[in-house]
Amino acid sequence: MLFFNFCKNNQSPTTEKTVDPLASHIDTTVKPQVDFFEYANGNWFKNNPIPASESVYGIFKIIQDTINNQIKSICENAMVSQAKEGTNEQKIGDYYASGMDTISIEKAGIQGIIPFLKAVDDAKSVEELLAYAHTLRENGVHPFYSFWISQDDKKSTDYAVFLGQGGLSLPEREYYMKQEDDFKTIRNQFVAHINNILSFAKKDYTNLTC
């Protein structure tokens, strides 16, 4: 009897087969030797169509939306928390409330950025503009180039400074260079859009070209 119980208690435990969650993304209707990308990701694309409100979509967009919603919730809670003066919660709440106060923002107009616009207008050379770009960066504006600190690509235990070309506004270089009618139309509309934006600064930029 003791031997029987010993053998019974030492039976190999049953294990459940673990299913790789990535396997659910595979589209088995596609031959991998024909289109491996579609084979590996086909089901994910079928189950995650791009929403009508988005121009791009993917796991990084989903993560970013989740983070943004969490930050929004933190800010909204801080805004109504009546936190103690000087605390981070009070500062976050006040800062968020000031950004959501559209009535006061509209009433103030462009008064807050007039010194920045004047400094740009007063610049007489590219060198002066580049020098002023440092001041703009300190105030959340990032012209001409991108600057950030991130994990070093060559040594993952260190951080490195990265510099990159600034945005082109239009998606690609070809939008500025190609002479087909549709690209010319886009450029003309782009110039009109810029002129409309700059008109809020009470300046006439109708002689802009692209």
CA distance 59 to 47: 12
CA torsion, points 154, 159, 165, 167, in degrees to nearest 10?
120
User: Which amino acid, one-letter code, is at 121?
Assistant: D
pLDDT higher at 8 or 60:
60
Asked whether residue 207 carries a pLDDT value surpassing 80, the answer given is no
| Cα→Cα distances 43→10, 22, 29, 56, Å | 43, 10, 10, 18
- Of the pLDDT bands very low, low, confident and very high (cuts 50, 70, 90), residue 20 is confident
pLDDT of residue 2: 46
pLDDT of residue 134: 86
Report yes or no: 162 and 149 within 8 Å, Cβ to Cβ. Answer: yes
pLDDT higher at 34 or 194:
34
Listed by start position, the domains of the chain span 48-107
Look at residues 99, 80, 100 and name the one whose alpha carbon lies nearest to residue 90. Answer: 80
What is the pTM (predicted TM-score) of this model?
A: 0.55
Span 47-93, pLDDT tens digits: 988 888 888 888 899 999 999 999 999 999 999 999 999 999 999 99
Residue with tokens 């709440």: 93
Asked whether residue 194 carries a pLDDT value surpassing 50, the answer given is yes
Asked whether residue 152 carries a pLDDT value surpassing 90, the answer given is yes
Look at residues 161, 167, 119 and name the one whose alpha carbon lies nearest to residue 143. Answer: 167
The arithmetic mean of pLDDT across residues 153-169, rounded, is: 88
Which of helix, strand or coil describes residue 149?
A: strand
- Of the pLDDT bands very low, low, confident and very high (cuts 50, 70, 90), residue 209 is low
Report yes or no: 119 and 135 within 8 Å, Cβ to Cβ. Answer: yes
The arithmetic mean of pLDDT across residues 126-147, rounded, is: 86
Report yes or no: 187 and 175 within 8 Å, Cβ to Cβ. Answer: yes
Structure tokens at 155: 């040594």
Asked whether residue 4 carries a pLDDT value surpassing 50, the answer given is no
The arithmetic mean of pLDDT across residues 196-202, rounded, is: 78
- Of the pLDDT bands very low, low, confident and very high (cuts 50, 70, 90), residue 3 is very low
